[in-house]
Structure 1
């Protein structure tokens, strides 16, 4: 029977400590409670949470579900409410809009087409030697630090610097300019913890990016910022400075955050599953497939909100046009209706051609542009890490691993490991060169 959507007395709080501490159990309870539920975040208006695989995939792929609420009559002002909650100055609000994710139609295709030049299969494949070199250098530093037997924080020493360095080089953030980006990303990515700092941090970031763009106009490089500047100069209506700032900020922050957390959650998952890790050591050709499985169980908890352009039925509930719908990725990726024994790591699980089965990178028109790079980085990094340090182990009890309150992402705060420093192994010896 179809029911008409309404709001419940107790909406699910998406940033509750319970969901942060144990997202698998928490989201599984929500998924089995109902296909659709009401929820809220950061004091915003209620939204509809979609919990099951088939419905989530439909929300991600059906063109009736739009990303831009301004395109839908009666859509709630979720963005405006959250910006007010975070005290964002009015002149900076537009810079926080993720234009690649929060627009639709021709405008989205225009921006995506410009940015996609940096993520073609050819360009990503050409980056592999550089990814391997950065990985080897970071592992050398880890080995040097581990000689005294003290634990190392893999988050700080490996999971963060690898994808951050790669995306900065691609986009065009010079090494001398990178230090503040960690603070900016951490502050804006954890808004409930850094509410008072956000306005200042946002202004610092915008001013910095405008300066970098101005620099590339006089000093062009082989990077994405230069390509965006040249596209603007070739045709002045193609890209505004504000769009460029927002795109670069989005790419740098999102271009490393998911991969950083994928590496961390993957290390924990593999240490929890020694049999699967042993299989990867014996058959390293399985790593590409394993990374897809690790991403299925990985850091992405939910996607961007969508707004139906007309009344739609999801899970037996009629949701009115303009309502806010949040597709929950983690419960969809562990839905027993779609995956057998869904919370078990199975590196042999078939995810279809190119890993099209799981929803860890989204689906549809807003499918993650950086997916090929993230998969490559994870494959190279995880293979090399476990080959270089075959006896690595947690330096604390598993339940002592702490998690950070970060919207939409399972974020490990610290990952203390003990490493047994072996002799140096090069990327070629670990089989990373194909």
Structure 2
């Protein structure tokens, strides 16, 4: 096809924003190479991305629209296999997507989300008490491990009625799904463990249903003789909501704390009341999207980018893969100006694509925002002297080009 050589994506995600800048330098849409030698078109212009994400000629179903998948060229050992192999609304297209999303939306209502507020406040307070106790014994605490991580996992576990003893395994498995530089053995092991854990949860909820999302989804599955949601779709829907429902929120809270502690002048604006916590959350989502790049979408037919306001002469061919480069889009200077890289809670234009756009917009976005809106002010009010304890060049990024957060977030509280 005469494409330029693709930009090879760093599977470990060691410097997501430097890589995002390299993607943008090649233009609003450019060819990249994912782990395993799989090529895709990375789209980094927010406006172009929005147009593509809402166009019916862009699919998320590899079985129908990705040439490499249809030709049997994608192995279960590929690090991103779970991301494209699942059968849920994340990979559904057209009428199938509407069917699945409608069923999930019935279970995952705004009312159910709002009702979680008191419980989220309670979990937050318990975690802050634990942080204080830990800091009395050792002045440096890891905020990601002790605060950013346990809050969303606890919320999502309770939302789905997950027994406490299953929590550790679930956490390990979800970490594995986001580990994009994993070797073949780890990939296949994680895939098997994910379905074993979810199968056990479904079996438990069939025996003793409760007022939780798993039971609500099982009810949708079992209505009308099981024609509405297949068993695989049920498991894959749970996989999507449990993994997407906590990793992204962990990164949102982690990145917000890190940005505020490394930009004291921005924190001062929040403390003085000249900027709100909502300002903080939206600017964090823009400048440090919790999901850096999201695999994958596919062209249903040849798509000339000029039609979408993109570069003339660039065509994403039928059956080719598309990567939504959210981290790159969030810092696009054409959209946000020359200071697009700067964290600025007073920025007028904080619109972002961190939760996606169009029919696949993240159902859990209100829950993620709610958790951050409760957790962040509570942390900074409880520990006004909070400070980072990281050395130069730290903290390191999570080992993933999808998940954008830190491995650890060392801090002092007093």
Aligned equivalents of 2:8, 2:87: Cα separation in 1: 23
State the partner residue of 1:120: 109
- Are residue 182 (structure 1) and residue 182 (structure 2) matched? no
* CA distance 1:93–1:387, change in 2 (3 Å): closer
Aligned equivalents of 1:279, 1:47: Cα separation in 2: 41
- Partner of residue 129 from structure 2, selected from 140, 155, 170: 140
- Partner of residue 406 from structure 1, selected from 394, 400, 407: 400
RMSD (CA atoms): 2.4
Q: CA deviation at 1:284?
A: 8.2
Deviations 1:55-107 (A, max 9, x none): 112121222111113333x722299545343499xxx9799515221111121
State the partner residue of 1:204: 193
Aligned equivalents of 1:22, 1:262: Cα separation in 2: 17
- Partner of residue 303 from structure 1, selected from 294, 307, 310: 294
Q: CA deviation at 1:30?
A: 2.1
- Partner of residue 237 from structure 1, selected from 217, 227, 235: 227
Does the aligned pair in 2 maintain the 1:209–1:245 contact within 8 Å?
Answer: yes
State the partner residue of 2:369: 375
Give the paired residue count: 405
Q: CA deviation at 1:350?
A: 3.5
User: Unaligned stretches of 5+ in structure 1?
Assistant: 421-434
Q: CA deviation at 1:157?
A: 0.4
State the partner residue of 2:308: none
Q: Secondary structure of the equivalent of 1:291?
A: helix
Aligned equivalents of 1:32, 1:331: Cα separation in 2: 10
* CA distance 1:231–1:79, change in 2 (3 Å): farther
- Are residue 106 (structure 1) and residue 118 (structure 2) matched? no
Q: Secondary structure of the equivalent of 2:341?
A: coil
User: Unaligned stretches of 5+ in structure 2?
Assistant: 306-310
- Are residue 249 (structure 1) and residue 239 (structure 2) matched? yes
State the partner residue of 2:68: 76
Does the aligned pair in 2 maintain the 1:101–1:304 contact within 8 Å?
Answer: no
Q: Secondary structure of the equivalent of 1:304?
A: strand
State the partner residue of 2:216: 227
Deviations 1:155-210 (A, max 9, x none): 11011100011011112212122121121112222142354233333323322322
- Are residue 162 (structure 1) and residue 162 (structure 2) matched? no
Aligned equivalents of 1:284, 1:131: Cα separation in 2: 26
State the partner residue of 2:340: 342
- Are residue 7 (structure 1) and residue 6 (structure 2) matched? no
Does the aligned pair in 2 maintain the 1:281–1:387 contact within 8 Å?
Answer: no
Deviations 1:4-61 (A, max 9, x none): x64333x2122256xx232223212320232222111121432111221221121212
State the partner residue of 1:331: 328
TM-score relative to the length of structure 2: 0.91
State the partner residue of 2:31: 38
Aligned equivalents of 2:84, 2:29: Cα separation in 1: 32
Aligned equivalents of 1:25, 1:407: Cα separation in 2: 12
Q: CA deviation at 1:218?
A: 2.3
Q: Secondary structure of the equivalent of 1:83?
A: coil
Aligned equivalents of 2:22, 2:200: Cα separation in 1: 48
Aligned equivalents of 1:101, 1:217: Cα separation in 2: 24
TM-score relative to the length of structure 1: 0.87
Deviations 1:262-303 (A, max 9, x none): 111111111121111111112187112220111111222122
- Are residue 277 (structure 1) and residue 267 (structure 2) matched? yes
- Say which is worse superposed, 326-335 or 279-288, in terms of deviation: 279-288
Deviations 1:328-349 (A, max 9, x none): 1111111111113211122223
* CA distance 1:79–1:140, change in 2 (3 Å): farther
Q: Secondary structure of the equivalent of 2:41?
A: strand
